[in-house]
Amino acid sequence: MSGIGPISLFDARAFPVRIAAEVKGLDQADFGSSPIDWSKHPRQTRFAVTSAVQAARAAGIVPGSVDPTRLGVYLGCGEIFWDLSEFGPLMAEGLRDGRFDPARFFREALCRSDGRVHENNEPNIPSYCLAGLFDAQGPNLNCIAACASSTQAIGGAAEVIRRDEADVMLAGGAHSMVNPVAMSGLHLLSVLSTANDKGPAAMRPFDGNRQGFVVGEGGAVVVLEELEHARSRGAEILGELTGFASSHDAYRVTDTHPDGRGYVHCVRQALQQARLNLTDIDYINAHGTSTVLNDRIETLALKRAFGREAYLIPVSSTKSMMGHATTACGAIEMIVALMAVRTGVVPPTINYETFDPDCDLDYVPNTAREIQCRHVLSNSLGFGGQNAAIVVSRFDEASPSRGAAGTPGRRTAA
């Protein structure tokens, strides 16, 4: 099933890209006694708050269950674009005739909007909101590393716990780029699919006919907790974050290194921290953006990192169903990894029809698969060369934590 369809958040009829994976029916009616009117905040903040409330409730985080000075927040939230939907037709006209001038557009938009700038648009505002909502007085951090942001935030939150600076961290990310400004910028970078007529079938990672990604949106937060603290609360443990690593390609501002060198190093470091061999990984949740170059490089990097074992490990891209949620994608995929070790079901890469000789791994085409799933590798590649990888493992009550991260995952919004 796919969440991709026509854009409804702004009038996109004149735009070259008219499809996205929007979050429908966002309901924030039940937020306790918080005095904040969430409707005044951008969608990114509302996604973060909704996800965190759901995650905390599922994990049993209630007043008094955690020392507030030992409760922290680490999110990966990106730029929040002004709500300039009213200027969509002006932007669409420029894109259509090839004369789009961003500087001219913003000058005119600012003049028409009387220079409105909202403090709620800062990318660190969601983490501040969560601190106030949960009385989280511990470390409060936000990471901006493009599409690797929320994976980096989750790994960083685990490191905070490992350093004994907190017992519990609300970690994840949120983002929405379904607006005229962001969509126009991505289109000018030639990374978006323009197969509007294909709708849900437009996002096709690793397929021979892929042509770009579909913008998604949303938020995901996981509760990471020190193991003994979780046991003392009698909390249900869904999995364990056993490995984390990050790296950089140090190549170009926009492109991934052609041989995936930073990605290869990142994967190897994550496995080393988790104290796992190549043969221990049962499933890989790929970044899988459905762009021609990135899918090819990611496949090459996996083969360089895993050698012949790469052909034996199921690899799938859940972006094929949910679109690319940019800074939030890694947190969403962390939850996919948790559910894989929890249920033994590996999600598919949908819309896979045509073989590409440069993408020759097992991409779990079109149909979910049941496997013995103990350890999952989830990868994120950020615009500009940022790489982040986490290893999620099935939790065994009788066994000590395998990795240096050593933090169990919690039930979260899905």
Count of beta carbons in the 10 Å neighbourhood of residue 170: 32
Question: Rounded to the nearest 5 degrees, what angle is found at the Cα of 123, between the Cα atoms of 260 and 409?
Answer: 65
Centroid of chain to Cα 330: 3
DSSP-based three-state secondary structure for 84:
coil
In the numeric block, which tokens belong to residue 398? 């009788």
Q: Which amino acid is at 138?
A: G
Instruction: Give every CB contact of residue 38 below 8 A, 6+ residues apart in sequence.
Output: 28, 31, 45, 46, 49
In 216-311 the beta strands, taken as DSSP E runs, fall at 217-225, 239-248, 283-285
Catalytic residue among 129, 324, 329, 359: 324
Instruction: Give every CB contact of residue 200 below 8 A, 6+ residues apart in sequence.
Output: 2, 3, 4, 5, 351
Rounded Cα distance between 80 and 212, Å, is 23
Count of beta carbons in the 10 Å neighbourhood of residue 53: 22
Rounded Cα distance between 408 and 169, Å, is 11
In the numeric block, which tokens belong to residue 334? 């962390």
> Under a CB-based contact definition with an 8 Å cutoff, are residues 168 and 346 in contact?
no
Of 219, 174, 244, nearest to 407 (Cα)?
A: 244
Is 147 among the catalytic positions? yes
In 206-319 the beta strands, taken as DSSP E runs, fall at 217-225, 239-248, 283-285, 315-316
C-alpha R_g of the chain: 21
Catalytic residue among 129, 143, 147, 359: 147
Is 187 among the catalytic positions? no
Is 287 among the catalytic positions? yes
Known catalytic residues are 147, 287, 324
